[in-house]
Structure 1
Amino acid sequence: FTCTCHDGFHGNGPFCTDIDECSNSSLNGCHSNATCHNQPGSYNCTCKAGFTGDGKTCRDVKECLNSTLNQCHVNATCVDTPGSHHCSCVSGFSGSGEDCQDINECENKTDNCDSNANCTNNVGSFTCTCHDGFHGNGSFCTDIDECSNSSLNECHTNATCHNGPGSYNCTCKAGFTGDGKTCRDKNECTGKHVCPPNSNCTNTPGSYACICIAG
């Protein structure tokens, strides 16, 4: 009679030893992304984590296509990698990708607002708004010359407008008194004036006149 070792064993027949098919990839048909498990006289293959299939064929699992398969935050981007995935917070957020917190660009001074603008933090972003008296897109703000156009200032017709950074002020012209936004004619004849003796003082808008007495 003859003794022949079963498939999966080797030896002379009276003595048979299990062949470890997992010790050499040429002895098994497991996929490169599968794990080989040796058994007496045989073996089996199971796909590694992040892959799916029968072990002899393993396909990458696309975790990013199914929200239940990844732990990416709602404000993160999911990127598939072979056998796994990666989460990274989108612009305006910071964190691990599985947890993303809004970045306060206004507090962290990472905004690009002009020095003459206000920064307002938004979820994932920020906005820049020029201060009153300035115009521009917020990143660049230019002073408004209110004195260049009477519709831009409240100065009285008998006042002079003085432009300043982001604002202006009004001063009544000589011969008038007030806060610049309201100017009243000053009656020089009621106070000290420079009319000589033998003359009468006559008040005029913003000034006065000296008229010699008859004779």
Structure 2
Amino acid sequence: VYNEQLRDLLYGEAGDPPKLTIMHDDAWGTVVNNVSTYEVTSMEQINLLMAKAAKQRAVGYTDMNAASSRSHSIFALYLTGVNEALGSELHGALHLVDLAGSERLDRSGATGERLKETQNINKSLSSLATVFSAKAARQAHVPFRDSKLTYLMDSCHRSGTRILEPCLSGQGKTLMVVNVAPEESNSHETLCSLRFANQVSQCDT
């Protein structure tokens, strides 16, 4: 998710990639239409795809980071398991989300395109925090559609009723790893990250 636009990091054909849209799939919930998909049968294949995608990800220089991620990266792995003895089949999905770090404008020195990127990153992270706050408070309305990042966590049921996808409720599990810098000069960013982590930890549904 770069500047509130979806990018296919695995698109390798000539010409402009097709337009990407967020839609609902009855089997898998919220998906991105027209995005590149690959059938994989080993961790080696998965690692190669993730490495290829990482090379295409938008990065840029700021005063705080020489190779700062300027986008949020989402890698979706859809799994199918078959029990031949029982004749049953199970489906599951694993979403690996690498969030771009929040940066204070006065410290990043961002101008021009870097400024626009920073503003969009901070806006989407703020939207994510709002979603977790609404979840923790068990509010009837969770504002998933405030950003492309949070929209990808939303879904519409076939009946038209808004529901939360399994990644944030139901039988699913969500694990968040928050990285902080130990330097005293980064204490403000570390405090903000820990506050965000504490906010997320309040969600139990």
Q: Could you state the TM-score of these two structures normalised by the residue count of structure 1? A: 0.16
Specify the structure having the higher radius of gyration (Cα). Answer: 1
Higher normalized strand content (fraction of residues): 1
Higher normalized helix content (fraction of residues): 2
Q: Higher relative CO (CA 8 A, sep ≥ 6), structure 1 or 2?
A: 2
